[in-house]
Structure 1
Amino acid sequence: MKRLLLSALLAVTTAHAAPAITPTLRIPGAAQVKLTEQDVNLMSMSLFTARNLLSGIESGDLTSFPCLDDDGIVTLLDRNDVTAYTAVRTALKSQGWTTAQEVRSPIGEATAFRLTRGNVNLMGMWMKNPDRAATRSRLALCQLKTDWKPRPAPADAALSAPAAGPLGAALRLTIPNWFDPAGVLYGTVTRDDTEHLAVRGTINRRGEATLTLARPPAPALRSAADWPAVFLDDNCTSGVTVSNPQAQLAAVDTLLFVPLNEKATDRQVLKAGETTSSFFLAERYQPTESAYVTLVYASAQVTLRGTAKCPSGVRQVNLNLPAGWSVIYRFQSNGSDGAVRLVNAPAQAAVQYWDR
């Protein structure tokens, strides 16, 4: 069996009792192979995923490792199907471990589980390799810390925007946990493989940002009848009714950041590779689907309702867009179907900004 200390992945110093995972812990089918760096990194991330699934708290916090730093196993199993996981579970049960929790991941074939024996807790994550040619699945197993559950996300920061109707000429928000310097923010629209500026703003060292919501330039706008391209979809079948095809739309769900000291011009920023970083305007991961805040500009009031089939999945659209800028939610399925829902942000939620 290939045994690897998880402290090689993340350095965490924790005082604890004697390790529960010892060389005598029997893992059936553990392959006698050398793990690649990619294998190790993937399984390290899978333990954070297992933590979220088992705790019921969706957290992107990677600073607090859930496992004791010197008591873990990362290994490949000699089968790439669920029988490999079943064999591991059966073997651990025979060694006196009781299943306290078992949660299947909504993404891919993977299962997180927590085992107990006396006052000791183990956490594991089994993952099938999605490569059809793969012959081995992956397993990570570790002894949990007493405080292994992540903290819930901080409270949402309020927007200075009305609860309903179009947004004003400026949008002020605070981005939590902002560690970068002051700089310039850009919201862009991709058209014909070219980036066009739709929103521009500034942000200070405290993460306090102001976006200017003016009418986007003509190259950033598309007809409402061409709504799939507005939301970065192409070749969708008909099925969505557009009340005012003459209305023009632009959608922004990511912001580009450039520090002030780089003194980049707008033209330089719009060129690929000129930005320091980019991030979603706001996002929230949920067990079955992830949600993203999107700013949408409409040149005139328009409604879009119906269902369309796109190459990457079904699109359910239910939007009532006033003239000007407004907030919508894009819900993206975490499953393999690629389904997306586009809906207006509820009146109360429209005045809140999600932690990124």
Structure 2
Amino acid sequence: MVIRCGIIGNIWTDWLDEWSSHHKNLGVSIDVIPWTRQEQDDFLVKHLASRYDLLLIEEEIYFSLERPCRLSMVQESITIISGNSKDYRRVRRVFLEGCFDYMEAMIPATEIQELFVRLSGYFLQNERDLIQMSKKIAEEIAAPYPKSEPLFFRYWTLMNQRKEGAEDQFPNYAKAIERIIQFLPLHSIREKVVDFAQGAAEWIEEAEYPQEQFIATLLFIQQAYRDIFLPHAQHPLVRRAISIYLDKEFDLETVQDIADQLFVNRSHLSKTFITESGVSLTRYMMRTKIYGARYLLLDSKRSVYDVMDYLNYTDYGHFRKTFKKYTGMTPSEYVTVYRERFSIEGIKKI
């Protein structure tokens, strides 16, 4: 986690590096902000405070602002005032207005350590909240009748509590997905799902509306959890068949292809798979392929024919018929319905 810190005025900042060095999960990015009287109240609140997680401000500059501006600024960012005031009433006002702390030019080591603890507790609380939310989402996904969409939206909101303009603080989408995966009982195919998370993260980062793709990805994981990952089927041969099929990314087109990869008899593989999983291997392969198509079609940069090519379909009529058999709609109808569902407006209704 990178804390974006804005410095306004003449302030001692050596302690920031020491603070971040105490925690492997915290880093500090520092911007020294030029200050002129012409850029006063509105500029600070609208264009500075909203961009930074932590603001360190020289006392004289702070009190040169109008009180409504100071209060708005403190609501936007953790604010620490730096000075050497002998006026008790001024220092008291700093705290009454909601500032995080008042720091003298040089403060005792014991007080610095106390400040480290308080700041770390504040910023790391967000990470703890994300972990708890991930656990709730995983429990819901694994439930018999999952209703996770409201949790997905709350998760997105929580992980996006970053400041505007802070390009270096874009969420780590792969980590966000992996947080959920770690709580799902995926056993031997966990690594495959982590690989999927990495690929999905790249897609989300490149998307025009990453919120849509992120929530669509979580919904895909929820829907695919039982149908693709088959957590109830623990027979070693079934787990190996699933693993090899997912690993080859649809290059294996028949049961015989999978049997050849596993060096087993095709008939034995087919019987074991349906007995242990409740679904035939042929149906599993087709269903998984259509899940892949559903996910890929949500990418506005891909056409239906791009998706067909990726999944090794050469005939549109056959693809259209198979897709409709498993989803109840044609690829074009699916794109229309679900891209609208995952639009910003649609997600806000969840």
Q: What TM-score does the superposition give when structure 1 sets the normalisation length? A: 0.22
Larger radius of gyration: 2
Indicate the structure with greater helix content.
Answer: 2
Indicate the structure with greater strand content.
Answer: 1
Structure with the larger RCO, 1 or 2 (CA within 8 Å, 6+ apart): 1
Q: What TM-score does the superposition give when structure 2 sets the normalisation length? A: 0.22
